Structures are given as C-alpha cells and as structure tokens.
Structure 1
C-alpha cells in the first residue's frame, strides 16, 4: 500500500490557521453558506447569492 505524505508547508499553514480566529468576512461566508444549506431541500435550492440578497434587503442595503 502507498504511504501518503503531506506537504510540510501545508501542515504548517494548517497549524497556524488553527491558532488565529476567523475574520469577520470568513464568519459571514460560513453563516451564509450554512443558511443556504439549511433552507435547501429536494424541491428548493437556496443559493448563497439568494441569502446575501435577502440579508441586504433586511439590513436596508439592497441595491
């Protein structure tokens, strides 16, 4: 069986990422993605763009 090895630079980047909190933009993207996934089902596909549009409308910043 083949022995897999990870790139040491990747492992270092992952270790550094664990030590710093996510940015506001990263948290926003995670929340939008979560909402879209939670609202979607077999009959309805809710996209991230749809969630973003509704959030802007609710915040009064819709273009």
Structure 2
C-alpha cells in the first residue's frame, strides 16, 4: 500500500504499552489496510499495510 490518505485517521496504541516509557507504535484502521507510526514522532514516517499484509504480519508475531 503506497501513500495512503491519513486525513482523519484515528490512531490508537495498545493498552499494554502504557508502562514502557513511551517506546510504542500507534495503528490506524484505513478501511482497506492499516497504517503504523512511532507514537513519539506523530508527524514522522508511517508504514502502511494492505489488509492481507497486516494479517500476515500480526500472525507472524503471534507465532514467534
């Protein structure tokens, strides 16, 4: 997914990330995919995954 429109994106982070000193990421559901950014650099770069790419990424994290 390239250069998604992030206007109006609602960013969220895991409730599990609250106690780690701010070293976390935020995600936004884009309807046809997911965007990810560093919570400390909200205007910085983002990664964007299409829906299947995101599922594959999350599944691989869960299996490790």
TM-score of the pair, normalised by structure 1: 0.28
Larger Rg: 1
Structure with larger RCO (C-alpha < 8 A, sep 6+): 2
TM-score of the pair, normalised by structure 2: 0.27
If each structure's strand is expressed as a fraction of its own residues, which one has the higher value?
Answer: 2
If each structure's helix is expressed as a fraction of its own residues, which one has the higher value?
Answer: 1
